[in-house]
Amino acid sequence: MTNLDFDRASGFANAALAMLKRSQIPPFPVYYELFYTYATGANSELNSQINAILTRSGNISLEEATGLCERFLKISDMEDRLRAMSEIMSRKITDVNQAIDYAMATANSYSGSLQQASGDLEAGIDEDALKMLSSRLLKETRRMQDMNRRLEAELENSKDDISVLQRDLDEVRKESMLDPLTKIPNRKCFDEQIILDLQRARRDDTTLALLVFDIDHFKAFNDTYGHLTGDQVLRLVAQVLKANLRGRDMPARFGGEEFIAILPETELRGALTVAENIRKSVQSKELLKRSTNEKLGRITLSIGVAELRAEDTVASLIERADQCLYAAKRGGRNMVVSETDLPPNEEAGVA
């Protein structure tokens, strides 16, 4: 790197840190990367978005910065982080194994020295030979003590490192199960949980309901008011879901503007009540553009509800809930449709 390159990189770094400080955003690596990229001008769309926010309000909020990171930096790096931790763990295991191998070799050598000394003593040796034997055994004993201290230190260090890795691994696992934008479980988490809940329902002979939600006209809303406002809508819906679900109920972002919720030990009638409460709660919230307090209107949900049947698989239960959702959209949106509302041919998958 030339002095000129170094000076330019330093300038970008200083500009990024200055923006973080001015907006009172914590200097976490992902936010630093966002503003460093802005300072370089390498992503014209990112710069356009940030410039629009700065023109409107002078500063960027933490929420806006998070939304920009999720959109432009592709921060879903779970696989890379897991791979890196796996490599570190592998190196630690290798280091411990090498330390143990060395300790075993030293112990075997020490054992051999003791056996040889025992033989010499039984055979009888003179005073000079005894002194030499004592000196050799003392040296071997000290070497053995040094080795034990080294092994103990290596194991202690590895224990601490592995504890840190375990904590990081737990955090990554938790993060990998959450949608980064809405902070509710993601599709991967849902796919794992629905299998467990179906198995539990059959084992305990209990029921289960599934709710599928879609934000009405979300694409048009997103195109009109921008992705950041669209992200606010997605977070709002997620918050309403969390507020209206209880106990072992689990909401998840299924993809795009579609959400899903598992309601264990819930019959169809109870699930319809929950769905209707969620629909009304979302509809009741008027959206405001934070920078200008401009009223953006209201959003609504179409919701499909299905109850687990004896012959259901995960796929058939989701498909039936999806059919209910599509029926709600065809019926005019902003409504709840259950499987009992479907015509027979549609329920069978003909429509």
Q: Taking the domains of the chain in order of start, what are their residue ranges?
A: 3-72, 78-176, 187-347
Catalytic residue, candidates 257, 276, 319, 339: 257
User: What region does 285 belong to: left with phi over 0, alpha with psi -120 to 50, or beta?
Assistant: beta
Residues 144-159: what's their mean pLDDT? 70
Span 187-347: which CATH code?
A: 3.30.70.270
Q: Which pLDDT score, from 0 to 100, does residue 291 have?
A: 64
Q: What is the mean pLDDT of the chain?
A: 81
Condensed to tens digits (0 to 9), the pLDDT of residues 252-290 reads 999 889 999 999 999 999 999 999 999 999 999 888 776
pLDDT band of residue 181 (cuts 50, 70, 90) is confident
pLDDT band of residue 180 (cuts 50, 70, 90) is confident
Residue 18 pLDDT exceeds 90 = no
- Verify whether residue 156 is a known catalytic residue: no
50-59, 116-125, 188-197, 265-274: least confidently modelled range: 116-125
Q: Which pLDDT score, from 0 to 100, does residue 81 have?
A: 59
Condensed to tens digits (0 to 9), the pLDDT of residues 119-145 reads 666 666 667 666 776 777 677 777 777
